[in-house]
Amino acid sequence: MLSWQFSRFAGRLYFQELNHNAGNEILVKNEAKIEGRLHGEQVEPEQPDNMFQRLIYMLLIAIMISVAQTVLGVATFVQFVVMLASNKQPNERLADFGTDLGIWIAKAARFQTAASNVKPWPWTELD
């Protein structure tokens, strides 16, 4: 039996599909949603930044990526401890945070390598 529930994480509302199988609730993530967030349509700026502005943004984003890597390392350690303490069950909110952080890092890398002119959050909306 499949059902849907609303969840709130980081101020956003999203759907989670619950699969009720033999009394166990197994959370089935909607992979298409994540794929859309990463590769979906993004509004490119009408005029690209001049090269000096882009350099400034690239330096700021490089610092932010470094901080994000540290946060990811801490989240990884915390999730491991949670899984040790809870019989191999991950914390779903922490797992969702990791997904959001990974998507942000991917968008930042696309800007850094000029694969996209769309700057990541905080210059654009955090989706």
Please report, as a single letter, which amino acid is at residue 19. Answer: N
Which among 99, 97, 103 is positioned nearest to 121, based on CA atoms?
A: 103
E strand or H helix that includes residue 18 = strand 12-21
Determine the Cα–Cα distance for residues 121 and 127; give it in Å rounded to an integer. Answer: 9
The string of pLDDT tens digits covering residues 71-98 is 999 999 999 999 999 999 999 999 999 9
Q: How far is CA 126 from CA 5, 11, 47, 91, 123, in A?
A: 22, 10, 21, 22, 9
Determine the Cα–Cα distance for residues 46 and 110; give it in Å rounded to an integer. Answer: 18
Q: Is the pLDDT of residue 29 over 60?
A: no
Which among 77, 108, 99 is positioned nearest to 12, based on CA atoms?
A: 99
Determine the Cα–Cα distance for residues 28 and 94; give it in Å rounded to an integer. Answer: 16
Determine the Cα–Cα distance for residues 118 and 42; give it in Å rounded to an integer. Answer: 7
Domain range list for the chain: 2-112
Rounded to two decimals, the pTM is 0.66
The string of pLDDT tens digits covering residues 30-73 is 565 666 666 666 667 677 779 999 999 999 999 999 999 999 99
Residue 109 contacts residue 101 (beta carbons within 8 Å): no
